[in-house]
């Protein structure tokens, strides 16, 4: 699917199979029914195309559209939604207040939740790990409240997704990390979205995982575990 | 101007006179010719309205529109542009690629430049300060290149602003910090936008400072200096 008919749209995506930020963009492209050339990147040996198309951050994802690179996953998702507004799905809410709320929480997911949960993996001591887990749970609790508010303020009371009856911007922004939440459970026995603390998000994650776009794009947690081990081995060898 | 006729639009802004993020929103509202009730916040003693309308971050700016709070300055600026699209000025570029580029660099200004230049003030040692100054200059150099690219790719070759012939999203995103760049010069003798390194941005900053919106909204650097001293005194008393 990813490599058929990409000439029509002129789309190339530089990604990494376990990168939440790249998965976010792949889900957006999939929601829109767009085909694209996908080029997996080796972040330990960055290629010329990645370096030249994202010289500032040298990171995935980069979406190249008719030769023009677009970087920063949230900006790429908005771009995809704006260029193909009439396609199968609408990603951003239609009304300005809903859009502002979605942008606020997406910034929160990237600014607070992401550094907290990745900090759990990077922590050098048990104490540091416990602190990052506390930060993660505080962020998840805020997102639980946000989900309660957003889904009850929707036209359908108690909507299934942040986006309402169908998957939207915040579903992609948070859902892209679910494989890693599974990997953390497998590796460290920690629960990122805890049923006692965030029952609505636990149910949301189950529903999200069953959507066609999640099934098509998201890797299994064991792929994230394998990649985490690869990173750890790289760090260990770098220290020697 | 800020307190006349606000009933018509139902707009209230919680701000701080020297906050770059609040200044960004005030400039957006001014560009659109909107009047609003402005309520200065005391961040050392946060009021109920701030805590209840931005419970997650408890920060300015918060724009309250017909009772609904909108937080995160970039999201607020986009909101203002979307709700009043036909007003005096357009803030975001009209084409999706221009919008994606503007969002990319706005994220860069907040994610890289802001922590670097505020780090100069917070640094505890001369060495740490020199490191933060290097980080700041590296970020400014990237923004110099961005300005060269964006202004030369505009329909008008060599446009005056990031937004083209008139002030736009990135002009607000970067321009809101100019009073602080002046304060850093006055307090520490450091030049954030250096003529040898970033001649285009030096010229841009001069042009931007002469625009009606900058003259109306931006404080003088000495107001930022006074606020910086207030923060330092607070920190010093907190340590005792």
- Give the DSSP per-residue string, A77-133: HHHHHHHSTTSS---S-SSHHHHHHHHHHHHHIIIIIHHHHHHHHH-SSHHHHHHHH
Whether residue B131 has pLDDT greater than 90: yes
pLDDT band at A62 (very low <50, low <70, confident <90, very high): very high
Using the predicted structure, report yes or no on whether residue B73 has a pLDDT greater than 70.
yes
- The predicted pLDDT at position A226 comes to 97
Question: Is residue A69 assigned to a domain?
Answer: yes
State whether residue A82 sits within 8 Å of chain B by CB. yes
Q: Which domain holds residue A125?
A: 96-229
User: Does any domain span residue B239?
Assistant: no
Measured in angstroms, the CA of A187 and the nearest CA of chain B are apart by: 30
Mean pLDDT value across residues A33-47: 96
Domain count across chain A: 2
- Per-residue pLDDT of B186-234, as tens digits, reads 999 999 999 999 999 999 999 999 999 999 999 999 999 999 999 988 8
State which of A83, A118, A146 marks the end of a domain.
A83
Q: What CA–CA distance (Å, rounded) separates A63 from A84? A: 14
Q: CB-side exposure of A198: number of CA atoms within 13 Å?
A: 21
CB pairs under 8 A between A and B: 60
Specify the CATH number for the domain of residue A65.
3.40.30.10
Instruction: Give the helix/strand (H/E) hosting B97.
Output: helix B96-108
Is A74 in CB contact (< 8 Å) with chain B? yes
Q: Is residue B91 part of a domain?
A: no
Asked if residue A162 belongs to a domain, the reply is yes
Residues of A in contact with B103 (CB under 8 A): 72, 74-75, 78
The answer to whether the CB atoms of B75 and A107 lie below 8 A apart is yes
Last residue of a domain, one of B55, B83, B111: B83
pLDDT of B6: 47
**Domain co-membership, A37 together with A154:** no
CB < 8 Å to B65, chain A: 97
- For A57, name the nearest residue in chain B, comparing CA atoms only: B108
The predicted pLDDT at position B151 comes to 86
pLDDT band per the 50, 70, 90 thresholds, residue B3: very low
- Within a domain: residue A88? no
- Main-chain phi, psi angles of B37, to 5 degrees: -85, 130
Which of B37, B55, B83 is the last residue before a domain boundary? Answer: B83
Assigned domain for A146 exists: yes
Place of tokens 């070759």: B157
B237 falls within a domain: no
The verdict on a CB contact (< 8 Å) between A75 and B107 is yes
Q: Do B108 and B196 fall into the same domain? A: yes
């Amino acid at each position: 699917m990813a490599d058929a008919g990409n000439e029509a749209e002129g789309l190339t995506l530089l990604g990494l199979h376990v990168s939440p930020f790249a998965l976010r963009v792949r889900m957006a492209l999939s929601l829109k029914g767009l085909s694209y050339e996908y080029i997996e990147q080796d972040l330990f040996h960055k290629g010329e195309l990645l370096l030249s198309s994202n010289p500032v951050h040298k990171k995935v994802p980069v979406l190249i559209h008719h030769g023009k690179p677009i970087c920063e996953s949230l900006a790429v998702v908005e771009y995809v939604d704006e260029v193909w507004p009439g396609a199968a799905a609408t990603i951003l809410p239609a009304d300005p207040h809903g859009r502002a709320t979605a942008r606020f929480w997406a910034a929160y997911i990237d600014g607070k939740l992401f550094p907290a949960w990745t900090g759990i993996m990077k922590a050098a001591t048990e104490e540091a790990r416990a602190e990052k887990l506390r930060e993660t749970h505080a962020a998840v609790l805020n997102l639980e409240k946000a989900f309660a508010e957003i889904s009850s303020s929707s036209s359908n009371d108690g909507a299934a997704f942040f986006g309402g009856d169908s998957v939207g911007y915040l579903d992609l922004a948070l859902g892209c990390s679910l494989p890693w939440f599974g990997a953390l459970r497998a590796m460290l026995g920690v629960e990122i979205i805890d049923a006692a603390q965030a029952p609505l998000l636990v149910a949301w994650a189950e529903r999200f995982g069953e959507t066609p776009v999640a099934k098509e794009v998201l890797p299994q947690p064991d792929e994230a575990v394998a990649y985490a081990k690869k990173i750890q081995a790289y760090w260990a060898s770098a220290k020697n």
